[in-house]
Structure 1
Amino acid sequence: MSHTALIPSHRKPRQSASKTALRAGVAGGVLSTIAVAGAAGPAQAEPVTQTIEMPTITAGLSTTVAASAEATQQVALDLETQANQDAAAATAAKAAKKAKAEAVRKAEAKKKAEAAAKAEAKAKAEAAERASRASRSTERTTLSASSGSSSSSGSSVSTASAPASSSASGSAASVVSFVQMQVGDAYVSGGTGPNSWDCSGLVQAAFRTVGVDLPRVSQSQSTAGTQVGLGNLQPGDILYWGGAGSAYHVGVYVGGGQFVGAQNSSTGVVQKSLDYDPPSGAVRVL
């Protein structure tokens, strides 16, 4: 190792050639200016006009600026379009909400009107039914009084109260009067009155008014008395359809070739000619 290796060098660091040249140029320029000024002497120095050239925007930079402006304009258009769409959507939603509310209001009004109409129709039907029941009740009371008087005197029922059974008398007249007063009542399976009947329920109730307790069903009622021929019928005889002991329907003969029976749910209690539904046989209880 050299004996001077550890001694720090006192030399100044070398400057780069570019920096040296730059400094030399600046110094030379300053000295030249001073020399020229000295040579001119006292002559008045003319002002030095220096033109500074601005850097020219290159084609690439102009393209970038144009693209940026176009992008900014497109963003503005997109924002405006979105704002218009949002406003249209809000208007449509408001209109739809209003239309829905109006539809709900109309539906509720229609529902209330229908309910009111049904209630009115029901009230009218109930009023008509009450009037009909009151009328039938009055007529039954009158006929009951007439039947009682007829039974005690042994005279026949007048044609005004039982036009199809003028030959009936006593208990038979009461039975005929009772069934005729039920004409127009409803037919209900298992019905036993006072305003709805089935066939055997009506017959049983009619005979109960004169103290005769008949069986409840048609089959038993068809054998409850003496069998009689259809050509020898009398008012108050029980008519049956089907076989004796296996009948499926019964009614009461009221005279004049007619009968009264609770036929079905469509017709209710009716008075019809025997030709309407010819019976199979008849029994006489009274």
Structure 2
Amino acid sequence: MSHTAHIPSHRKPRRSASKIALRAGVAGGVLSTLAVAGASGPAFAAEPVTETIEMPTITADFSTQVAQSADATAQAAANYELQAERDAAFAKAAKQAKSDQALAEKKAEAKKKAEAEAKRKAEEARASRSAERTTLSTASAKSDAVAPASGSVASVIAFLKAQLGDAYVMGGTGPNSWDCSGLTQAAFAQAGISLPRVSQDQSTAGTPVSLDSLQVGDLLYWGSAGSAYHVGVYIGNGQYLDAANPSKGVVIQDLSGYPATGAVRLL
């Protein structure tokens, strides 16, 4: 303790915490003012400080502006996020559309190739049948007996000739007795052709052809198309094979003796 501490004039006054807090709240401008006053000389040293600088206060309008600015910022962020989501969805949809288009094009190309292949096979089959008919017609021109050949037409003719001599029975479908449509139905089944059961329906089952341009394997009918009462198969050389009637059974006959009304081509 100083040797002059007991003298009142040398004691330093203690400041309370509340006064310190009050003075701490004064703006830095006040301190600046005091510093300037102290530097100006002794003449001003004893003068009390009477000027203060007030800190700006936050008004209600300013608070509202701050809140509005915050809302605007939040809204802008939400809009940006929404736009980003839309852009992502659009990009995903565009990618999916591109993928779907590529798949559709691939399927279309595969379908095109399949159709071309089917057309090629159909043309080959038609050419083969035409060659078979030519072979059979040539052979029948040399002999009443038709020489067997490979292929669907030949299988039909071979089956029919194998039934020669079988009995005719109304409603018969084989294997040893037939009626006219039962025999033709079974014969064309050998070539994979599914014919209706009765003569009326068989007479409209294929493509109509002129009797002047008959080919081996054409189905002949008697009566009008759609209401025919008898059918047989042309085997070339002006002849046909049919299950004629109970007195004849399955036979080969000349068209000149019993001319057909019309014909259809099934092969």
TM-score range, shorter chain: 0.3 to 0.5
Q: TM-score, normalised by structure 1?
A: 0.44
Structure with bigger gyration radius: 1
TM-score (norm 2): 0.46
